[in-house]
Structure 1
Amino acid sequence: MNKREFLKFTGISLLSLTALTLGCGNDKTAKADAPAPEVKQNTNKGASQNMSTNSKKILVAYFSWSGNTKAVAEEIHKQVGGDIVEIVPATPYSETYSVTVAKAKAEQAANARPAISTKIADFDKYDVIFLGYPNWWGSYPMPVATFVETYKLDGKTVAPFFTHGGGGEQRCLSDLQKLAPNAKFTQDLVLSGSSAKSSQAQIKSWLDSLQL
């Protein structure tokens, strides 16, 4: 099954296909020799004032294979402002679903740390990190582990958000907390891949509840 065919089955749990949950959508995969992802600054004057009134520096960082987590990240960025950056593996994952499933399983079994091309010049300036990714094999995609260990989250407020294909949260939050034990975690947001692109109200409700 290629990626285009996979997108037709947005409501199907990927746990039924050996427990890997990937969000559905149309994601543009970066090339290995592409320039590092740019940290995009907010230009939306209508963003929520929840955090700007406290003068907190915000970064929305996300990993997305299919496009669902990207859609959620962009909506969060739209509502809260701050900067946004994609976590991009230096070697792109295949657009063929079964190939990516197998690679993700092998990486998790090996506790791998795939190289990423994402570069953030002044990470220390951020107070709040919105960190999002899809549920892969019940946990985080391994490029996320590379990101967390490269850009230390010690002392940061981390607001996690996850997408899934039917498996829910599973260990997405607990494994992240183990990876960054010195960060302060908020309540997480968990969305199904099929609802990711129409979840504006749910995202707003979550953001309001955080009271950051």
Structure 2
Amino acid sequence: MSFSDAKCLIAYFSREGNNYVSGRIVNLAVGNTEVAAKMIREITGGDLFSIEAVNAYPEDYTETTEVAKQELRANARPELTDQLENMASYDVIFLGYPNWWGTMPMPVFTFLEEYDFSGKTIVPFCTHEGSGLGHSEKDIAKLCPKATLLKGLAIHGTRVNDAKKDIANWLDKVSAAF
């Protein structure tokens, strides 16, 4: 099976606005993970789905990191703004997120627990500022034990706008696993 044979979903959580980039806080018009998700859509032709929490994170970067740390410690499952009507129709789910405190933001945990991923292929990708995928792949495997989990891609946030070639190379490698 290739991407053209599979029904692909690119589900992602991204945060625009104040973000940590190369050691300083900058204002991003589009979050890094969304940039990568749109590149994956361009290559695979998959459908995009934005994972968003009902309660938005603070505009201030430092405040957001504190909220994210509290959610992680509490193992919170923030309510999401939208639901997918047709998850059963997808074969491959590209799952994107920034690395927050060594794993995915808690809304991504909510997303993974709201659907049955049995028999599906999950392909993670994350943006980060030096921490890579952290332990997010292990967390995905634990939450979705009946899914096939392929090797994820970690994209340094400062380089996301120039990552299309790296993403295409990674997609070539993972497509061989279908």
Moved more, 126-135 or 169-178: 169-178
Residue 10 of structure 2: aligned partner: 60
Letter in 1 for 2:38: E
Superposed, 1:130-141 pairs within 5 Å as 130-141=94-105
Moved more, 167-176 or 70-79: 167-176
Q: Determine which structure has the larger strand proportion and give its number.
A: 2
Letter in 1 for 2:68: A
Unaligned runs of 5+ in 2: 17-30
Report the RMSD for the aligned CA atoms in angstroms.
Answer: 1.2
**Residues 133 and 152 of structure 2 are in contact (CA less than 8 Å); yes or no, is this contact kept in structure 1?**
no
Rg larger in 1 or in 2?
1
Question: Shift of residue 152 of structure 1?
Answer: 2.1
Question: Shift of residue 168 of structure 1?
Answer: 1.6
**Residues 134 and 163 of structure 1 are in contact (CA less than 8 Å); yes or no, is this contact kept in structure 2?**
yes
SS in 2 for 1:209: helix
Unaligned runs of 5+ in 1: 1-48
Aligned-residue identity in percent: 43
Letter in 1 for 2:81: S
Per-residue Cα deviation, 1:116-163 (whole angstroms, up to 9, x for no partner): 012211110100000010100001100001100112212110111011
Letter in 1 for 2:128: H
Question: Shift of residue 192 of structure 1?
Answer: 0.7
Residue 183 of structure 1: aligned partner: 147
The two structures have a TM-score, normalised by structure 2, of: 0.88
Distance 1:152 1:106 in 2: 27
Q: Which runs of 4+ in 1 moved over 3 A?
A: none
Residue 20 of structure 1: aligned partner: none
The two structures have a TM-score, normalised by structure 1, of: 0.74
**Residues 138 and 171 of structure 1 are in contact (CA less than 8 Å); yes or no, is this contact kept in structure 2?**
yes
